[in-house]
């Protein structure tokens, strides 16, 4: 009944003392010292190398070290019958909402423009709307999108959400499908993407989408980097269709040193930190999932492989 923990060396170093103390008596294996593969029942993983999970013959549960599971599903050798559990952690949800609120307020209060004015030593008032006069559109209206929406609503913003199913969420204006996306984009002066990475969402943030936003809209992307067509964003910034962007996720991470985003004053780059996995709370959630599995109870947050999230 061994549990494998696989992640980057820094993450393994951070989690090892924590899990060893929090889960006494469990046979824990920390990547890359995994021992006898046939004795591993559970795997907690982040970007596992392709084929690793298939090489564990008695694997019973795959647990994602993040909310997203694209880093697992990209493995073409993934064992078919093993359930994949994604992380849903209120601590992380709160962190993402803090990030979204910070960036939406930054765009709403014209922080980019005032910083440019400061750099030029220019004292000039810009016309300012109130939050209630600003629509924030959220692409992805699941765990993270709905919580961010609730907090933005609390600040007075007019919030709308878009999801795959077009699910209704009491208290919110929601949209689904291609027609729904048009309706949402038309009004979203600030667009926040919290979409999972799937074949359908690849490149969704492109020139066609930007063109449907109000002129001068702001963009926040904290979903996945491959959802953004980077050249289209730069062109939209040059044309003024997009006024500013805050990006937490990138096609290539870490963002290469020579990448134009680093030095573009219209873009804020954060290093994939919008909502980090938090060992104390996430550890308890993983322990519960394993306990439920061993007791024959339903395990929460098993993903639907066909949907891809």
Using the rule CB under 6 A, give the single segment among 64-72, 125-133, 227-235, 287-295 that binds ligand OXD: 64-72
Check binding of 225 to ligand NDP (CB under 6 A). Answer: no
Residue from the set 29, 134, 224, 226 that interacts with ligand NDP by CB under 6 A: 224
Check binding of 68 to ligand OXD (CB under 6 A). Answer: yes
The packing angle between helices 90-108 and 143-154, to 10°, is: 50
CA 20, 25, 31, 36: dihedral to nearest 10 degrees? Answer: 160
SS3 content of the chain, % helix, strand, coil (to 5): 40, 20, 45
| Catalytic residue status for 272 | yes
b vs e for 76-103, b when ≥16 Cβ sit within 10 Å of the residue's Cβ? Answer: eebeeeeebbbbebeebbebbbebbbeb
**DSSP character for 167?**
-
| Catalytic residue status for 224 | yes
Question: Among residues 272, 278, 297, 305, which one is catalytic?
Answer: 272
Q: How far apart are CA 290 and CA 28, in angstroms?
A: 13
Check binding of 303 to ligand OXD (CB under 6 A). Answer: no
Our CB check for ligand OXD shows the closer of 7 and 110 to be 7
Contacting ligand NDP within 255-274 (CB under 6 A): 272, 274
The tokens 């980057």 sit on which residue?
A: 8
Our CB check for ligand OXD shows the closer of 18 and 132 to be 18
Residue from the set 145, 218, 225, 283 that interacts with ligand NDP by CB under 6 A: 145
Binding site for ligand OXD (CB under 6 A): 66-68, 275
Q: Which residues are catalytic?
A: 224, 272
């Amino acid at each position: 009944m061994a549990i494998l923990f696989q992640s980057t060396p820094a993450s393994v170093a951070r989690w090892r003392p924590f899990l060893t103390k929090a889960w006494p008596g469990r046979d824990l294996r920390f990547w890359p010292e995994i021992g006898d593969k046939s004795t591993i029942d559970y795997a907690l993983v982040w970007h596992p190398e392709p084929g690793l999970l298939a090489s564990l013959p008695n694997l019973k549960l795959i647990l994602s070290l993040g909310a997203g599971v694209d880093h697992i599903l990209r493995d073409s050798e993934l064992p078919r019958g093993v359930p994949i559990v994604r992380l849903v952690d209120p601590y992380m949800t709160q962190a993402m909402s803090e990030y979204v609120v910070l960036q939406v307020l930054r765009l709403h209060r014209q922080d980019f423009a005032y910083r440019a004015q400061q750099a030029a030593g220019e004292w000039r008032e810009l016309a300012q709307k109130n939050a209630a006069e600003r629509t924030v559109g959220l692409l992805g209206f699941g765990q993270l999108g709905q919580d961010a929406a609730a907090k933005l609503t609390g600040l007075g913003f007019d919030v709308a959400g878009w999801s795959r199913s077009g699910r209704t969420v009491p208290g919110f204006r929601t949209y689904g499908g291609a027609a729904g996306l048009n309706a949402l984009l038309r009004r979203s002066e600030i667009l926040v993407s919290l979409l999972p990475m799937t074949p359908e969402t690849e490149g969704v943030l492109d020139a066609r989408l930007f063109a449907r936003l109000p002129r001068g809209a702001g963009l926040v992307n904290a979903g996945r980097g491959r959802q953004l067509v980077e050249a289209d964003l730069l062109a939209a910034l040059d044309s003024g269709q997009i006024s500013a962007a805050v990006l937490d996720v990138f096609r290539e991470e870490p963002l290469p040193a020579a990448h134009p985003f680093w030095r573009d004053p219209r873009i804020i780059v954060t290093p994939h930190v919008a909502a980090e996995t938090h060992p104390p709370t996430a550890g308890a959630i993983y322990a519960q999932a394993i306990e439920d599995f061993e007791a024959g109870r339903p395990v929460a947050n098993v993903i639907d492989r066909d949907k891809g999230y």
